[in-house]
Amino acid sequence: MGFMDKLKNKFKQNDEEEISTKYKEGMTKTRNSFSGKINDLIAKYRKVDEDFFEELEEVLITADVGVMTVMDLIDELKMEVKRRNIKDTKDVKDVISEKLVEIYYGDDDESIEELNFQQNELTVMLVVGVNGVGKTTSIGKLAHQLKSDGKKVVLAAGDTFRAGAIEQLEVWGERAGVDIIKQGAGSDPAAVIFDGIKAAKTRNADVLICDTAGRLQNKVNLMNELSKVKRVIEREVPNAPHEVLLVLDATTGQNAMSQAKTFLEATNVSGIVLTKLDGTAKGGIVLAIRNELHIPVKYVGLGEEITDLQKFNAQAFVFGLFADMLEDDNEY
């Protein structure tokens, strides 16, 4: 059984079908671009040769998979094609899908996609990212999801500088049905988060999600601010924050990568929330982030609804990329 057959069978299971539908619908733009180009390539070249690999390299780079990742992937593909003695380009689709998943995980497994929750004590999550990437929206959606899972959630409105940020978080707090701790605009973010920790402990909350300012204009200030917030959290909750989630906008492509590098200098990012994946044809950025920054993607935004923030699943992602091809083969 080929790898794509395995994916197809996996996502036919009842509990997996909803996940695959979300990814399939949310990745339409990337898939239309990516699958279409790969199908054209397979129609153009009947046999697997150097020219075929060169054009495949271009297709992957235009999908924003990232040059370093593409080079690794092409090398792996060439070795595998040789090992399996594959001559027909049609048979390469299966190897591409398999290698994309392998390259994503590397030496790790699906556990890297899970959030790090503490048992029987407060879990503190710090959410960072520049203004405009969908940070506050992602916090609201995540709060809604965690509450639906039976967790008691408190939000701390630590983005005290952007006009309207506190009010926006309040709206999301109401929608998700969770408490929000805030101070006035312009107040010290570390003080807000200190209050948030105290309130979360008093209310026996399971999770505290802290919003932070996202001004990149002055990198030194941003770093100092995040360091201060982190010191307050560490002092009040040993070994916290348990997650530092960096929110990136998928539609900004390689610009998201440079933002990520800046935040990595400022704080220990443990996972990525990639928003607006449904709005880009360059969804390959997921693989570039993981392979070049060595940080797992933990959530992806696949639509506007409150339920459209999905736990990331590399197999569902690759399924979303290749879903049309599976249908073309009349196998799905």
What are the backbone dihedrals phi and psi of residue 114, each rounded to the nearest 5 degrees, phi first? -85, 150
Q: According to the annotation, is 239 in a ligand binding site? A: no
Convert 238-248 to b/e letters by CB count within 10 Å (16 or more is b): eebbbbbbbbb
> Is 129 annotated in some ligand binding site?
yes
In order of 57, 200, 201, 319, the CA distances from 97 in angstroms are 14, 44, 45, 8
Is position 87 annotated in a ligand binding site? no
> Binding site annotation covers 309?
no
Q: Is 224 annotated as a binding residue?
A: no
Q: Is 214 annotated as a binding residue?
A: yes
- 300 is an annotated ligand-binding site residue: no
How many CB atoms are closer than 10 A to CB 309? 22
Distances (CA, A) of 243 to 99, 171, 269, 298, 310: 28, 24, 8, 11, 17
To the question of whether residue 128 is assigned a binding role by annotation, the answer is no
Q: Is 212 annotated as a binding residue?
A: yes
Annotation-wise, does 196 bind a ligand? Answer: no
Q: Is 36 annotated as ligand-binding?
A: no
Flag whether 177 is marked binding.
Answer: no
213 is in an annotated binding site: yes
- The Cα 29–Cα 225 span in angstroms is 37
Q: Which amino acid is at 295?
A: I
d(CA 304, CA 100): 27
133 is in an annotated binding site: yes
The answer to the question of whether 279 is labelled as a binding residue is no
28 annotated among ligand-binding-site residues = no
Residue 106, annotated as binding a ligand: no
Q: What sections of the chain are H helices per DSSP? A: 3-10, 14-26, 28-44, 50-62, 67-84, 92-105, 135-148, 165-176, 189-202, 219-236, 254-266, 285-293, 314-328
Binding site, annotated residues:
129-136, 211-215, 275-278
Binding site, annotated residues for GTP:
129-136, 211-215, 275-278
